[in-house]
Amino acid sequence: MQAGKKNKPIHYRYFLNMGPQHPSTHGVLRVVIGMYGEYVLSIEPIIGYGHRMHEKMGESRPWQAFLPNTARMDYACALPHQHAYVRAIERMTGVAVPERAEYLRVITTELNRVVSHLLWLGAFLLDLGAFTPILYTFDDREHILDILENVTGSRLTHCYFRAGGVVQDVDDSFEPAVRACIKRMRSRFEMYDKLVTKNIIFIKRTKDIGIIDRDMAVRYGVTGPVLRGSGIAHDIRKAEPYSVYPELDFDVPTGQNGDCYDRYLVRVEEMRQSLRIIEQALERMPGGDVRTKTPKKLNLPPGDVTSTTEGARGDVTYYVAGDGTETPYRLKVRSPCFSNLSLLEELCEDMLLADLIATMGSLDLVIPEVDR
Amino acid sequence: MMTLLQQLPPECIRIVIAAAVVIGFVFANATVMGYLERKLAGRFQRRLGPMEVGFHGLLQMPVDGLKLIGKQLTEPNNVGGIVFYLSPLIAMTPVALPFLVIPFSPHLQVIDLDVGLLFIIAMISFNTIAVFLGGWSSNNNYSMLGAMRSVAQNISYEIPILLSVLSIVLITNSFSLKTIVLEQSRFWFVLVQPVAFLIFFIAGIAETNRAPFDLPEAESELTAGFHTEYSGIAFSMFMIAEYTYIFINCALATVLFFGGWHGIPLPFGEYSSCIWFLMKTYLLMFVIVWCRWTFPRVRFDQLMNFSWKYLIPFSMVNLLLTAIVVKL
Amino acid sequence: MALDTGRLVTDIRACSQNVAEPQPGACGYTIEVHLSPDQVQECARSMYDHGMYLVFITAVHVSPVPEVLYQFAHFDTPCRVLVRTSVQSDGKLPSIAPVYRGADWHEREIHDFYGIVFEGHPHLKPLIFAREDRKMRPLLKRDELVKERSALWPDETGLTAPESDDAGR
Amino acid sequence: MNQYFSDLLNGARSLIEGFGVTLKALLSPPVTVQYPRETIPVSAGYRGHIELIIDEESGSHRCISCGTCARTCPSRCIEVKGEKPEGGKRKELARFQLDFTRCSLCGTCVEVCPVTALRFSRVYGQAGYTREEFMIDVLKRAGVQK
């Protein structure tokens, strides 16, 4: 794109401190940008402002106590984290999960994914300067959040999954509410198409900006919609199927040249796919109980396990090492935003400041998940 | 006291009263525009807008004004000294001058300068100096960026305005605003010069740093652009100046293209022309607010390209065509 | 360009004999490798040639010497490799940041939490902690809580044991 | 050259469409609720702070002050004390204090209670100026509910 100014003498460079309080860092992230005029020469993201040492909490209390923590890392899309942690525990202890519980987990996770993508869509457009769409996306989100609040008890920090199933069954108002919500959501997509997808200013602000190729994705471990925007159809729900995803039919949207515009298209298409998944899951959901009886004191056998799910931002992997007691010996959380953010230094060299904001917005960062 | 008044020449009293009315109008317009903008923004976003203060939030803007006056003027350290405090004044004071020549109705016009149009366009460019000094002197990287952007933006959008206005002057071959409006009694110039109107209107939006060209105060990039460090009355001066420049732009567009005070005679007697004028102006302001709440922000180099590659060539071609047609 | 797992396993065997292919359903990874610290960079390079991306690097504080684990996965074919190494006696480990730029942050984070020094790392500054509390090392367990390496993985022959070829769990 | 004009034309068309969307939004009724005056009913499954369930027949709470919930709570925010009234054989619940500033609403206490004496209340919009306002005396609340 524009010729960079890297060969300019150093004393022309001045530093712009973006954050930790800044409208478009989506959380407490500080980015020290070396600027030459409007061009970005060097970027250094400084993280750690929202660090709470979740992994130490996991190691110092029984494994059940970590369940609320899983929802406090990526609060925009908490259920995939909880699903990964609960599957890790089930893998270690060999607890079986009833079919109905697995379907409930898939339905609530996909609802959560749609909510998270809507939040991202509003915030991304706010970064580009459009003030109105965020209110429309929040309006849509409210409908789904009301359903999730009724099922899981809270709007964002859900604590709904347990080892061996889910906390409680859904009441009979759940299914009609979800169907109505899907119908309403589908009618909203072509409004977003008219307002955003075809808008010439939006296209000019996001086309061919922040292009991520396969080699950079491999070197930085980029996963999720950011990776799929570059044309690589890697989705854990398809690559390493878990829960009841093999029985559900959905496809993995990918972009062509990996710029902000493709990432936008991928996420909007993913919302449509999630609605398809929810519809199929609602039809195939059997009756039966939603939780297997687990002994009061469930010890984690020695040895370690990793379990992976597809979060809204990418590959969420939990590594749990047990030592025979009820407390995990080591608990590692691999958060997708950590790797997606680490490529900012290499990706955003020689960019304009406005493009840096657009690229950071398109990476869909949730900073508490980066700091853990 | 009355004898003193008789000695003063009548012209001087007339000017003092006119000045007082104009200043009053500037503040009234700022509150009305601010209220309209926040209410419309709410309605565009399917919400209600200010409802708490007064009936349907009518008192919201005056109360905000009082709050801003009451707020403490924070001054960051080693700030550009006197220039830091001067720039809001530079933004605020020249704002009232264009009102001298705007013809609200046939006889409601302070002075009918025969170079009225030139005078207004000269006054409009004061805003750039104020924004630049404000941004540069507040010793903050964000505002310095905002200042630089606003200078480049205003310069490159001054030219399309001039060229599009020239095509009108070619038709009426006079700069006096009153004669321009009188010329439009039979048909409005927007029918004759639609392209010139579009160029003038778009360049007007860019001139007053309004979205989608609001780069000098880009919230998501430069926190608040040139007025990041200003608080209290200094910040509200910049706001009042911005709203008044929008009004002047819309008033100019009404005078040049929408036939000033012409319209179907309303039952208000001789005030109907003034009401027509205000209605047209506030309709154009509605479109500006509409633009703000619909479009994302343009990137800086695209802004420049848009002006130099699209607006200026089109306005030149338009000027040429008008010249040919008029001279036939 | 799908991954050819057969060739991958032979490449890994070239680095170290101790390769196991446990049941993925039970433990979440398809290949488990035990490496000695100096083979880490070589193994990382062969992973990179196969187009595997780095999932995470983590460390476990076990008694003789802390254990460092790498997990790699592939975009097109489902295959998860878990590489286990022990830190050298002087608490150092060769860094794989030159091969995987993404490992730069992972290693700095482990340095913050455990104090393990990665040789060859471009700039081993604190990532998450501020300058003043970079000596905190929160994930190191108190002495009475640290467990033997064998207590955690009883039936696996750690690297301390001589090279025996029986497969892992 | 035609890229120049095609950009201009479908650009203008997309802007007009954008205008159409916001105009339709302008004309349609607002979807918001004026919160302090009007409120949306809280859904059935909403988790407020925990409260004691009142038995219909016995008319009082079922808690046997065994303290299981206090032990299993991850953030140790429940404090239960039972006293044996003189002569009586069973412990009576004397004090049930919940420190709601630390509760993360995980629901473990509701699950592990042997006599299912706890449930989530539907208290919404709790705000206070001091921490003491969030030290909820659940027993007193149960008394009030009786």
Mutate to test the interface with D, among B294, B297, B310, B317 (most CBs of D within 10 A): B294
Residues 6+ apart with CB under 8 A from D31: A139, B46, B47
* Beta-carbon contacts of residue C26 (< 8 Å; ≥ 6 apart): A91, A305
CA distance D22 to chain B (A): 6
What is the C-alpha to C-alpha distance for residues B179 and B176, in angstroms, rounded to an integer? 6
Q: What is the pLDDT of residues D4-54, one digit of tens each?
A: 888 889 889 999 999 999 999 999 999 988 888 888 888 888 998 999 998
| Residue B46 to residue D25, Cβ atoms within 8 A | yes
Tokens of A3: 């010729």
> Which chain D residues contact residue A168 at CB under 8 A?
45
- The chain B residue lying nearest D33, using CA atoms, is B47
Crossing angle, helix B10-44 and helix D2-27, to 10 degrees? 90
User: Both D111 and D140 in a single domain?
Assistant: yes
D95 and D136 in a single domain? The answer is yes
pTM of the model: 0.92
Name the residue facing A128 among B46, B294, B296 (closest C-beta). Answer: B296
When comparing pLDDT for C168 and D106, which is higher?
D106
Candidates A70, A158, A200, A327: best to mutate against D (most CBs of D within 10 A) is: A200
Query: Quick one: closest CA in A to D114, which residue?
Result: A296
Compute CA C77 distance to the chain's CA centroid, rounded to the nearest angstrom.
21
Is D139 contained in some domain? yes
Contact C78 A371 (CB under 8 A): no
Scanning every residue of chain C, which has its alpha carbon at the shortest distance from the alpha carbon of A45? C127
Is residue A320 within 8 A of residue A88, CB to CB? The reply is yes
User: Over pLDDT 70: what percentage of chain B?
Assistant: 100
Q: Any idea where the domains of chain B sit in the sequence?
A: 75-327
CB-based contact, B114 to chain A, within 8 Å: no
My answer on whether omega of the bond before A23 falls inside 30° of 0, hence cis, is no
Task: Establish if D89 belongs to a structural domain.
Answer: yes
B309: nearest CA partner in chain D: D4
Q: Does some domain include residue D106?
A: yes
Asked if residue D68 and residue D137 are part of one domain, the reply reads yes
Kindly state the tokens that stand for C47: 């992973």
**Rounded (10°) CA dihedral A315, A316, A317, A320:** 180
User: What's the pLDDT at C25?
Assistant: 75
Searching chain B, which residue's CA lies closest to the CA of residue D1?
A: B309
Q: HEC profile for C42-64?
A: HHHHHHHHCCEEEEEEEEECECC
Give the separation between CA B259 and CA B273, rounded to whole angstroms.
Answer: 11
A51 CB neighbours in chain C (<8 A) are 128-129
CATH number for the domain that contains residue D79: 3.30.70.3270
Look at residues A330, A248, A308, A338 and name the one whose alpha carbon lies nearest to residue A81. A308
Q: Which domains does chain A have, with CATH numbers?
A: 66-339 (1.10.645.10)
Q: Are D45 and A149 in contact (CB under 8 A)?
A: yes
What would you measure as the largest C-alpha separation in chain C, in angstroms?
49
- What is the number of residues in chain B? 328
Whole-number Å distance between alpha carbons of D105 and A157: 9
Domain C5-102 is in which class? alpha beta
**Which among A65, A150, A168 has the least Cβ separation from residue D43?**
A150
D36 is a domain residue: no
Task: Give the number of domains in chain D.
Answer: 2
pLDDT tens digits, A248-294: 999 999 999 899 999 999 999 999 999 999 999 999 999 989 999 88
Rounded to the nearest angstrom, the minimum Cα separation between D104 and chain A is 7
Of D11, D17, D106, the CB nearest to A194: D17
Instruction: Tell me the chain A residues in contact with residue B47 when contact means C-beta distances shorter than 8 Å.
Output: 135
CA of B302: which chain A residue's CA is closest?
A204
Longest distance between any two alpha carbons in chain D, whole Å? 101
Closest Cβ opposite residue B221 in set A2, A136, A354: A354
Q: Is residue D80 part of a domain?
A: yes
Q: Does D7 touch chain A (CB under 8 A)?
A: yes
The values of phi and psi at residue C72, to 5°, are: -120, 150
The number of C-alpha atoms within 13 Å of B241 and in the hemisphere containing its C-beta is 28
Neighbour subunits, B (≥3 Cβ pairs < 8 A): A, D
What is the Cα–Cα distance from A234 to A255, expressed in whole angstroms? 12
D27 shares its domain with D57: no
**Chain-chain contact of B294 with D21 (C-beta, under 8 angstroms):** yes
Q: What is the pLDDT of residues A312-366, one digit of tens each?
A: 999 999 999 988 899 999 999 999 999 999 998 899 888 898 899 999 999 999 9
pLDDT given for residue A83 in this prediction: 95
Residue A183 has pLDDT above 90, yes or no: yes
This complex has an ipTM of: 0.90
Q: D107-117 in b/e burial notation, b at 16+ Cβ within 10 A?
A: bbbbbbbeeeb
Q: Is C97 on the interface with A (CB under 8 A)?
A: no
The half-sphere exposure of B179 on its side-chain side, counting CA atoms within 13 A, is: 14
Full residue range of the structural domain in which residue D1 is found: 1-31
What pLDDT, on a 0 to 100 scale, did the predictor assign at position C155? Answer: 60
User: Do residues C24 and C80 make contact, with C-beta atoms less than 8 angstroms apart?
Assistant: yes
One domain, residues D61 and D18 = no
Backbone angles phi, psi at A271, to 5 degrees: -60, -40
Rg of chain A on CA atoms, in Å: 21
